[in-house]
Structure 1
Amino acid sequence: MKKSYIFGIIIIAAAIMMIVSTAGDASSYVSFKDAHDMALNGNNTKIHVVGELKKDNEGKVLGINTSQDKLSFTFIMVDENGKEQEVFYNEPMPADFTRSEQVVVIGSFKNESFVADKILMKCPSKYQEETVI
């Protein structure tokens, strides 16, 4: 067999192994209710929940509580189905967190509380058109 054929087979095998190994890390987007049900059934895989921060009528963010050392915080998030849930994040609050339009938390339920390992934010775009009156 030629060396180029052997090299090609090795490259293809490596690509297949990478695809199989990353497929197990893929998580799905669910609501807080689905995430809670998954945790009750013993499924502790990391999942994505999409939602917004809870705000009052004036647009002020409600329910953010930082720890005394500012190294962790909790906040109330409303998922796409309207369910409110307190989320714990064991890292400092990200910059412009309260300005975000949409939030994606990646984590799982532990003891009736959603614990986020990572937070992704969609901040307002400075390029959006504004209505001029």
Structure 2
Amino acid sequence: MKKKYIAAIIIIAIAITMIISMAGDASTYVSFDEARELSEKGFKKSIHVVGELPKTASGEVVGIEESPDKLSFKFEMLDENGMKQQVLYAEPIPTDFTRSEQVVIVGAYQGDKFVAEKILLKCPSKYQEEPEFTS
């Protein structure tokens, strides 16, 4: 009977350790100012910033510069506080990038520029209901 209790305690301890280690990897969205502060304090994990792309009055996205080889690009992004920041991304422009409602960038500051490792998009077409057709 005691061996069962000891085994149960060990299993519970392992589960708690796994939960705590995964919770340390969880990230919340921060502004560019908070991301800069974290980077200056030596925060080494990826930082998530959510925002949107700046647009003209007619809705055209501005501030995107693609590299000549089209293998990387940089763009401007407005965080939730309205702060504009240039972001570098060492991959080609994602499909529907300019159509996205919101952009989440995952990365860190390197100097005065934010370098994104990943870009996550929220596109309006994915969340709109399809019209029902009746015959």
TM-score, with structure 1 as normaliser? 0.85
Instruction: Find the counterpart in structure 1 of residue 39 from structure 2.
Output: 39
Higher helix share: 2
Runs (4 or more) in structure 1 with deviation over 4 Å come to none
Q: Which runs of 5+ in 2 are unaligned?
A: none
3-state DSSP of counterpart to 1:24? helix
The one-letter code matched in structure 2 to 1:127 is E
CA distance in 2, matches of 1:60, 1:34: 28
Aligned partner of 2:105 in structure 1 is 105
Aligned to 1:121: 121
TM-score by length of 2: 0.83
Percent identity over paired residues: 58
Give, in whole Å, the separation in 2 of the partners of 1:38 and 1:24: 15
Question: What number of residue pairs does the alignment pair up?
Answer: 129
For structure 1, which runs of at least 5 residues remain unmatched after alignment? none
Q: How big is each residue's C-alpha offset from its partner over 1:84-130, in whole Å with a ceiling of 9 and x where there is no partner?
A: 0011111222111111001111111111100111111111033299x
User: What is the alpha-carbon distance in structure 1 between the residues aligned to residue 43 and residue 88 of structure 2?
Assistant: 19
- Residue in 2 aligned with 1:64? 64
Q: Report the AA paired with residue 15 of structure 2.
A: A
